[in-house]
């Protein structure tokens, strides 16, 4: 009977990972359709004849606001009432997001549904990461890395899906509708499939310590890595097309595929490194360092090819599981409350999503032709802070 249950939990993990596959589309598709949404929302043309897409960047930032609103509740709800309930709420909110964005006719509507999309993300975060870490208890960091693999797989496929939709003369709304239907079907599976039971002794210990648990400075630093690591890849993911065009690239969509390929490569390589003994905290130091160097190269080398190289390298070192390893590292400080630990890191991530992307939207609006390179400098500064935080965690985590 136990073996049968274990097999069923594998199906549960696959259903959970699939929600992140759809989340990968939801998190990046707005950035791929900025001109289309800007036109639908009545954006004014700029001096060079292109549409002002700053309102779309602001709406993308609202995804972070939605996460920020709901994460204080989603983690404790997941720990208290179970991962399944958190997952179902996340799925229903994502269904509303996809269908709502497809039918939004103004920035206000888009902003509202983006907030709902952020809420969906937060509830999936506090369902999927803890669930997979509890199913694969012997390799929780590796299990959590594969949530990112699910995201990057869909982001790798997304440009091809966009190409298919365009070649078939279908509306840009098509992918939104298909994604909404797909995650709804997956939500039915999540409702039916079993979830791992939390051990009573662990729960009792959590209840006993809940009121008196102290957060150490190292734990706070680990949580804040959620802010810096998210800033690194979100700024690149949503602003690389404008940079590429300013450098003379005709088809910036190629960057997205290389970005996703870099992310997938990093997850597979990092999982292998961790299984061979590489400490997660060392990844949290070295990968942001690589990202900083790459961002600097993109700033100083103003040529189309550097954007392609940057897409792969930032995908590898910026988006290749750094946020997920920050969650795993923070969970070590809260072993009895993994859902809450996930919430804390994702709150920091959502603050980054909202504040940093809002700042990027402002820079895009006022910076003119120099805005893409100004955003690179912003990205470098935040990433360097992440390196310093990781060094602090490494030095003080055992105190």
Confidence class for position 92, pLDDT limits 50, 70, 90: very high
- pLDDT for 204 equals 44
**Residue 71 reports pLDDT greater than 60:** yes
Q: How far apart are CA 160 and CA 52, in angstroms?
A: 26
Among 65-69, 254-258, 268-272, the range of highest mean pLDDT: 268-272
Compute CA distances 193 → 9, 13, 186, 188, 366, whole Å. 8, 10, 10, 9, 50
Confidence class for position 389, pLDDT limits 50, 70, 90: very high
- pLDDT for 200 equals 44
List CB contacts of 308: < 8 A, sequence separation 6 or more: 254, 255, 258
Lowest mean pLDDT among 123-132, 203-212, 252-261, 320-329: 203-212
91 neighbors 18 (Cβ within 8 angstroms): no
127 neighbors 78 (Cβ within 8 angstroms): yes
pLDDT, tens digit, 9 for 90 and up, residues 184-242: 999 999 999 999 876 543 444 445 454 445 678 999 999 999 999 999 998 998 889 88
**Residue 353 reports pLDDT greater than 90:** no
pLDDT, tens digit, 9 for 90 and up, residues 22-46: 998 998 888 888 888 988 898 787 7
Which CATH architecture describes the domain 2-396? Up-down Bundle (1.20)
- The chain-wide mean pLDDT, for the chain, equals 87
Positive/negative CA dihedral, 81, 82, 86, 88? negative
In total, the chain counts a number of residues equal to: 399
- pLDDT for 23 equals 93
pLDDT, tens digit, 9 for 90 and up, residues 107-147: 999 999 999 999 999 899 889 988 988 888 888 888 888 88
- pLDDT for 214 equals 66
- Annotated domain spans of the chain: 2-396
- pLDDT for 1 equals 35
Calculate the CA 375 to chain-centre distance: 19
């Amino acid at each position: 009977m136990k073996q049968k249950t274990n097999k069923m939990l594998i199906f549960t993990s696959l259903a959970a990972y699939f929600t992140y596959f759809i989340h990968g589309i939801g998190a990046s598709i707005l950035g791929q359709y900025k001109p289309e949404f800007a036109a639908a929302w009545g954006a004014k043309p700029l001096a060079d004849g292109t549409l002002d897409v700053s309102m779309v960047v602001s709406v993308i930032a609202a995804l972070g606001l939605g996460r920020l609103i709901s994460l204080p509740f989603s983690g404790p709800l997941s720990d208290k009432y179970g991962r399944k309930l958190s997952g179902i709420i996340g799925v229903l909110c994502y269904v509303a997001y996809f269908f709502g964005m497809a039918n939004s006719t103004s920035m206000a509507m888009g902003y509202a549904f983006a907030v709902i999309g952020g809420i969906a993300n937060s509830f999936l975060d506090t369902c999927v990461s803890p669930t997979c870490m509890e199913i694969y208890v012997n390799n929780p960091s590796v299990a959590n890395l594969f949530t990112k693999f699910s995201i990057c797989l869909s982001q790798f496929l997304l440009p091809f899906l966009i190409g298919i939709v365009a070649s078939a003369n279908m509306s840009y709304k098509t992918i939104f509708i298909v994604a909404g239907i797909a995650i709804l079907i997956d939500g039915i599976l999540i409702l039916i499939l079993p979830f791992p039971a939390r051990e009573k002794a662990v729960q009792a210990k959590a209840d006993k310590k809940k009121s008196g648990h102290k957060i150490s400075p190292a734990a706070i630093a680990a949580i804040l890595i959620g802010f810096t690591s998210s800033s690194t890849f979100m700024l690149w993911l949503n602003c690389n097309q404008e940079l590429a065009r300013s450098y003379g690239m005709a088809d910036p969509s190629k960057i997205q595929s290389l970005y996703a390929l870099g992310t997938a490569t990093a997850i597979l390589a990092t999982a292998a490194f961790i299984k061979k003994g590489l400490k997660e905290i060392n990844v949290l130091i070295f990968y942001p360092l690589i990202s900083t160097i790459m961002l600097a190269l993109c700033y100083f080398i103003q040529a189309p090819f550097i954007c392609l190289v940057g897409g792969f390298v930032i995908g590898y070192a910026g988006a290749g599981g750094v946020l997920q390893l920050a969650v795993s590292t923070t969970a070590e400080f809260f072993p009895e409350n993994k859902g809450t630990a996930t919430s804390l890191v994702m709150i920091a991530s959502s603050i980054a999503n909202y504040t940093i992307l809002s700042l990027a939207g402002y820079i895009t609006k006022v910076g003119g032709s120099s805005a893409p390179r100004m955003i690179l400098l912003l990205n470098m500064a935040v990433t360097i802070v992440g390196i310093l935080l990781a060094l602090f965690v490494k030095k003080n985590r055992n105190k």
